[in-house]
A and B are shown apart, each in its own frame.
Chain A
Amino acid sequence: MNVVMQGISKAFGPVRVLEEVDFAIAGGEIHALMGENGAGKSTLMKILSGVYRSDGGSIRIDGQPVEIRSTRQAEACGIAIIHQELNLIPQLSVMENLFLGREPSRFGVIDSARMRREAAAQLAALGASAIDPEAEAGSLSIGQQQMVEIAKALAMDARLLIMDEPTAALTEREIDTLFGLMQALKARGVAIVYVSHRMEEIFRICDKISVLRDGRFVGERVIARTDFDEVVRMMVGREIGDRFPRRTAAPGAVRLQVTGLADAQHVRDISFEVRAGEVLGVAGLMGAGRSEILKTLFGLNRRSAGTVLLDGQQVALDSPGAAIAAGLAFVTEDRKSQGLVLGMSVRENATLVHLPQYARLGVVSDAAEQQAVAGLIEQLRIRTRDAELEVKSLSGGNQQKVVFAKWLAQPPKVLLLDEPTRGVDVGGKAEIYHIINQLAAAGVAIVMVSSELPEVMAMSNRILVIHEGRQTGLFEAASATQESIMAAATGTAHAA
Chain B
Amino acid sequence: MTPKQKATLQRLGPFIALVLVSVGLAVLSPDFLTVANLLNVMRQVSINALIAFGMTLVILLGGIDLSVGSILALSSVAIATLIQAGVNPLLATLLGVLGGGLMGLFNGLVISKGKVAPFIATLASMTILRGLALVVSGGSPITGFNSDLFSMLGGGYVAGLVPIPVVWMLIMFGLFAFLLKKTVFGRHVYATGGNEEAARLSGVKVDQIKLWVYTLSGAMSAMAGVVLTSRLNSAQPTAGSGYELDAIAAVVLGGTSLTGGRGWIFGTLMGALLIGVLNNGLNLLGVSSFYQQVIKGVVILLAVLIDRSGKK
Binding site for B on A (CB under 8 A): 298, 300, 320-321, 323-324, 330, 332, 337-344, 348, 352-353, 355-356, 359, 362-364, 386, 388, 406
> B190 contacts the other chain (Cβ, under 8 Å)?
yes
Q: Give the docked Cα–Cα distance between A332 and B200 (Å).
A: 12
Render B180-221 as a binary contact track against A, CB cut-off 8 A, 1 for contact. 001111011011001101111111110000000000000000
Known: A337-B195, A362-B184. A344 touches B190 (CB 8 A): yes
Q: Give the docked Cα–Cα distance between A344 and B194 (Å).
A: 8
Known: A362-B185, A363-B183. A343 touches B201 (CB 8 A): no
Q: Give the docked Cα–Cα distance between A330 and B202 (Å).
A: 8
Q: Which residues of B contact A339 (CB under 8 A)?
A: 198, 201
Are A348 and B198 in touch, CB under 8 angstroms?
no
Are A352 and B262 in touch, CB under 8 angstroms?
no
A-B contact count (CB 8 A): 69
Are A363 and B182 in touch, CB under 8 angstroms?
yes
Are B205 and A343 in touch, CB under 8 angstroms?
no
Are B187 and A348 in touch, CB under 8 angstroms?
yes
**Residue of A with least CB distance to B262:** A343
Are A359 and B198 in touch, CB under 8 angstroms?
no
Are A348 and B202 in touch, CB under 8 angstroms?
no
Are A341 and B201 in touch, CB under 8 angstroms?
no
Are A344 and B201 in touch, CB under 8 angstroms?
no
**Residue of A with least CB distance to B203:** A324
Q: Give the docked Cα–Cα distance between A172 and B107 (Å).
A: 46
Interface size class of B (residues with CB under 8 A): 20 to 34
Are B194 and A342 in touch, CB under 8 angstroms?
yes
> B115 contacts the other chain (Cβ, under 8 Å)?
no
**Residue of B with least CB distance to A334:** B197
Q: With both chains docked as a complex, state the minimum distance between the C-beta of A372 and any C-beta of chain B, in angstroms.
A: 14
Q: With both chains docked as a complex, state the minimum distance between the C-beta of B192 and any C-beta of chain A, in angstroms.
A: 9
**Residue of A with least CB distance to B186:** A364
Q: With both chains docked as a complex, state the minimum distance between the C-beta of A362 and any C-beta of chain B, in angstroms.
A: 5
Known: A321-B205, A359-B183. A341 touches B4 (CB 8 A): no
Are B199 and A352 in touch, CB under 8 angstroms?
yes
Known: A343-B262, A344-B261. A338 touches B201 (CB 8 A): yes
4 A-B pairs with least C-beta separation: A341-B194, A324-B203, A341-B195, A352-B202
Q: Which residues of A contact B261 (CB under 8 A)?
A: 341, 343-344
Q: With both chains docked as a complex, state the minimum distance between the C-beta of A340 and any C-beta of chain B, in angstroms.
A: 6
Known: A343-B261, A362-B183. A321 touches B203 (CB 8 A): yes
In-complex Cβ contact of A406 among B183, B188, B202 (8 A): B202
Q: Which residues of A contact B188 (CB under 8 A)?
A: 355
